[in-house]
Chains A and B, each alone.
Chain A
Amino acid sequence: MSKQKLQISLNNDLGTVQSIIGSLPADKRIILEAGTSFIKRYGSRGISLIKQTWKQKVGSVAYVVADLKCMDRGGQEIFIAKNAGADAATVLGTAPVETLNEFIEKSAELGIDAIVDMLNVTFPFEILGSLKTIPPYVMLHLGVEERLHTEKQIPYQDCGRIKGSYTTTIAIAGGETPRDVRRVFFNGGDIAVIWEAINTNPRETTVLANQFLSTLKI
């Protein structure tokens, strides 16, 4: 079984993001994510800054995910993420299959992990079946507006289905409490993604992160 990880998505202004990173425990089970709106606000320098800030703090290199949510021009976008120092980058599962294949192929060439984000995908299994190569990561995802305004639930059930057929790491996003994080691992997920709790209470970062980390078993 793979090691359980906590992915913290950073979606604030630069100063707050730096202070959140400064308050996080130096725990190797943490993955930092440059959130989509953060990237759109600051561009690739935002990604580099997250990487540098963690390195200055911990002394070791962080694993940083660039949440590009790529929809087209897979090759060009993966290059932006790689140049900024990202270790992984995301592409939407709803993107054209040509874009998904291009993104996964180019990311392997550049030595960066591709993550297919299954936001608003009813059958993630079908998307994976249409790809030339299975990506190293798949993200099952309940969007923010979906969580706030609809009855939709996090699709935990897809985790077992995918793992039954493919060898890939599964990240699950959309839950925001320690209970949700526990559920991710209970359902076979490898990475629990959170953002809201810490981004809306940056001053409580240390306490909140420790609460979330305490739910990880390994």
Chain B
Amino acid sequence: MAQYHKTFEAFSEKLRAHTRYLHIALNNTMDEALRITGQIPPSDRILLEAGTPLIKQFGIDAVRALKIRRPDLYVIADIKCADLSEKEINLAQAAGADAVTAVGTAPTATLNAFISLSAQYRMDSLIDMMNIKDPLTVLRELPTQPTIVMLHRGVDETQNNKEKQIPFYQIKQIKGNYSSVFIDIGGGDEFKEIQSAIFNDADIVMVWKAFYQGDSNIPKLTQKFLELVQ
């Protein structure tokens, strides 16, 4: 059922308030992404992501292939739009994506066009706040809020700077100002970090690493994460 948020906030037809979601990002080869996708148990609490490198390597067909393999799952096209939003949103929509991403560091004019076009195309908009110190300053510039705000520590940041922390305290800051925005936490794959995200009231938690360990039992692993993300 459609969930209409306040007039100044985007609405999601697919995400339910007060529900926690597991966001699984797929980033290596297409074969591997499809193998993992095929083994994920059905759940309306799973968001599957075609990662940026996957899209840049295989094109928007990567999104299409995931959606064809699993039409029952919510699929995010992580296009990380920074400019020319109309062209990129068109691509994602044509490929069957349920949500599409832009970087919070994009010009405000691009973010505004991105949010309103996503809604027009009936897709959820996700703004990725990677490398933004204060996401609220970005959100305050926008007349309409995105469906999802992602607080994100990048892979290169995580690997090359041990001191950078995921700013969990910003979850409450954002929710205090924009109550219907879903908050997605990315960049912390450890169980402890997932627990911290949930404890701090995140709605969505992104994982990827565990799914790429060769001996992973995907259905079991997914179930374990779903239990954590409650």
Contacts and interface: CB of A to CB of B under 8 A. Distances in A.
Contacts of B60: 40-41
B56 A150 contact: no
Interface in B104-163: 105-110, 112-113, 128, 130-131, 154-157, 159-161
Nearest to A69: B82
Interface stretch (B35-43, B67-75, B83-91, B215-223): B83-91
A46 B59 contact: yes
A153 interface: no
Contacts of A44: 56-58
B9 interface: no
B55 A43 contact: yes
A148 B109 contact: yes
B62 interface: yes
Contacts of B113: 145, 149
B10 to A, nearest CB: 18
A37 B88 contact: yes
B53 A76 contact: yes
B80 interface: yes
A100 to B, nearest CB: 9
A150 B87 CA distance: 19
A73 B157 contact: no
B195 interface: no
The interface residues of chain B, by DSSP majority, are classed as helix
Interface string A1-28: 0000000000100000000000000000
A98 interface: yes
Nearest to A102: B156
B147 to A, nearest CB: 20
A99 B112 CA distance: 26
A149 B109 contact: yes
A198 to B, nearest CB: 15
Nearest to A150: B109
A108 to B, nearest CB: 16
B103 A37 contact: no
Nearest to B106: A120
18 contacts: A41-B60, A43-B56, A43-B59, A71-B131, A72-B154, A75-B156, A77-B52, A80-B53, A92-B103, A92-B105, A94-B82, A98-B161, A119-B106, A143-B106, A144-B110, A145-B109, A146-B109, A150-B108
B80 A71 contact: yes
A101 interface: yes
Interface string A68-92: 1101111111001000000000001
B107 A145 contact: yes
A31 interface: no
Contact of B56 (A77, A98, A101, A120): A77
Contacts of A149: 109, 112-113
A96 B154 contact: yes
A58 interface: no
A106 to B, nearest CB: 10
A73 B83 contact: no
